[in-house]
């Protein structure tokens, strides 16, 4: 279904980033489904790290709660993912390593401008996302509480933790260790660095249970070596290295309170969330552990925790198993029925 949808482009001229830099950016997005006359059935589903609109179809379908026959669905591509404005598709002087830092806050501000100008929306029935998409859902619910009726963050944080920052710095160092990297001014893609980065990431993404229970066999791999050789070695080969680095920096800088509205007061930012809020960590996600969401919920008035009882680690939010997908869809169905 996603492959058949038309990709739209929204031009942001003289867009002021949180850093103060003023740039021209292009936001690419999908918009499809049936919009009610009163525009009360809008679902916003932002993308994740290294993902695009093409990976968002796993929660959308005629037999799923997010049904295009019942809802109007918008999928904005995160900046730096190679579809919206990114280091890889921007002309000089902002191409490659010269591309500016674009924060989660900047992504949400751009999405807000697009939704208001193109569609004139006042309400969003549900904003939902996995991983960095979940970060954007947090930012939306906090900064624009009057617009957001419901929010689901799957394996996401309101603020990147110190531990996650360090994990990301490790994968950054792995990618940039390739001699071809050349501080981002490369002549050809540093593929060896991408493989090294992916092998580091492989030990974090699934978690111990997935390996201990040999879930990789269910996914078609004979042993952990095949997981590395067949899944992870080339997983980032089709991605641009500067795009991957830029998204890491976006992730590391994430903090829903780091703006003029909340002035780095995370408790104040969390308290601003008025939507019904369901946080859905994976039970053994190594970089978005349930404990972090539990701490955040102490300051969310209408929030609750629904831990995905999955062995897939961070990938619990991606619905990689039938049980995970059913669990996620049951929560979506519940929140949309209100």
Q: Which ranges in the chain belong to alpha helices (H)?
A: 104-114, 132-143, 162-176, 191-205, 208-212, 215-218, 224-226, 241-252, 266-271, 290-297, 322-336
Please report, rounded to a whole number, the percentage of residues in the chain having pLDDT higher than 70. Answer: 100
Contact yes or no for 97/70 (Cβ under 8 A): no
Strand partners, 282: 308
pLDDT at 41 over 90: yes
Average pLDDT over residues 96-122: 98
Longest Cα–Cα distance of the chain, Å, equals: 56
Positive or negative CA dihedral for 310, 313, 319, 321? negative
Residue 49 vs residues 81, 195, 279, 284, 323: alpha-carbon distances, Å: 7, 17, 18, 19, 23
Confidence grade of residue 4 (pLDDT, cut at 50, 70, 90): confident
Average pLDDT over residues 111-117: 98
Tens of pLDDT, residues 219-267: 999 999 999 999 999 999 999 999 999 999 999 999 999 999 999 999 9
Q: Which pLDDT value is given to residue 3? A: 76
Contact yes or no for 136/78 (Cβ under 8 A): yes
pTM score of the predicted model: 0.97
Contact yes or no for 305/291 (Cβ under 8 A): no
Q: Which pLDDT value is given to residue 1? A: 65
Distance between CA atoms of residues 15 and 111, nearest Å: 12
Contact yes or no for 318/327 (Cβ under 8 A): no
Distance between CA atoms of residues 48 and 32, nearest Å: 19
Q: Helix (H, G, I), strand (E, B), or coil: what is residue 329?
A: helix
pLDDT at 115 over 70: yes
Q: Which pLDDT value is given to residue 5? A: 87
Distance between CA atoms of residues 332 and 151, nearest Å: 10
pLDDT at 138 over 70: yes
Determine how many CB atoms are found less than 10 A away from the CB of residue 208.
Answer: 12
Q: For residue 100, give the DSSP letter.
A: P
Tens of pLDDT, residues 178-209: 999 999 999 999 999 999 999 999 999 998 99
Distance between CA atoms of residues 65 and 176, nearest Å: 41
Output the six-digit token pair for 173. Answer: 């160092």
Give one DSSP letter per residue of 64-131, joined into a string: SSB-TTT-EEEEEPPTTSSSSS-TTT--TTSSGGGPPP--HHHHHHHHHHHIIIII----BSEEEEET
Least confident stretch, 75-79, 164-168, 232-236: 232-236
Distance between CA atoms of residues 132 and 126, nearest Å: 16
Distance between CA atoms of residues 257 and 126, nearest Å: 21
pLDDT at 72 over 70: yes
Give the residue extent of every domain in the chain: 2-160+256-336, 165-246
pLDDT at 104 over 70: yes
Q: Which pLDDT value is given to residue 264? A: 98
Output the six-digit token pair for 209. Answer: 């249970």
Per the prediction, the chain carries an average pLDDT of 97
Cis peptide before 93 (omega within 30 of 0): yes
Q: For residue 228, give the DSSP letter.
A: I
Domain 2-160+256-336 has CATH 3.40.50.1820: yes
Distance between CA atoms of residues 266 and 277, nearest Å: 16
Average pLDDT over residues 94-105: 98
Q: Which pLDDT value is given to residue 20? A: 97
pLDDT at 2 over 90: no
Q: For residue 17, give the DSSP letter.
A: P
Average pLDDT over residues 172-179: 98
pLDDT at 164 over 70: yes
Average pLDDT over residues 80-90: 98
Q: Which pLDDT value is given to residue 338? A: 78
């Amino acid at each position: 279904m996603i492959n058949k949808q038309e990709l739209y482009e929204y031009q942001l001229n003289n867009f002021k980033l949180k850093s103060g830099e003023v740039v021209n950016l292009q936001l690419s997005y999908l918009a499809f489904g049936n919009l009610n006359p009163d525009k009360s059935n809008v679902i916003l589903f932002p993308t994740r790290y290294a993902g695009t609109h093409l990976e968002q179809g796993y929660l959308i379908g005629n037999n799923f709660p997010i049904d295009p026959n019942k809802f109007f669905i918008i999928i904005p591509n995160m900046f730096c993912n190679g579809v919206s404005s990114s280091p890889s598709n921007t002309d000089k002087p902002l191409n490659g390593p010269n591309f500016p830092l674009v924060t989660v806050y900047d992504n949400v501000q751009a999405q807000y401008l697009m939704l208001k100008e193109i569609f004139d929306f006042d309400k969003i029935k549900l904003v939902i996302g996995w991983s960095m998409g979940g970060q954007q859902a947090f930012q939306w619910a906090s900064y624009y509480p009057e617009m957001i009726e419901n929010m689901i963050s799957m394996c996401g944080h309101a603020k990147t933790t110190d531990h996650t920052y360090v994990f990301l710095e490790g994968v950054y160092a792995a990618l940039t260790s390739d001699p071809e990297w050349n501080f981002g001014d490369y002549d050809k893609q540093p593929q060896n660095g991408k493989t090294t980065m992916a092998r580091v990431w492989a030990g974090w993404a699934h978690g111990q249970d997935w390996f201990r229970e040999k879930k990789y066999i269910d996914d078609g791999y004979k042993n952990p070596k095949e997981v590395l050789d067949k899944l992870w070695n080339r997983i980032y080969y089709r991605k641009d290295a500067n795009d991957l680095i830029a998204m890491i920096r976006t992730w590391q800088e994430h903090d829903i309170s780091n703006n003029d509205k909340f002035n780095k007061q995370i408790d104040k930012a969390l308290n601003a969330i008025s939507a019904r809020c369901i946080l859905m960590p994976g039970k053994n996600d190594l970089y978005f552990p349930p404990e972090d969401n539990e701490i955040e919920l102490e300051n969310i008035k209408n929030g609750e925790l629904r831990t995905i009882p999955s062995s897939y680690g961070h990938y619990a939010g991606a619905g990689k198993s039938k049980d995970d997908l059913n669990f996620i869809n049951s929560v979506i169905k519940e929140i949309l029925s209100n």
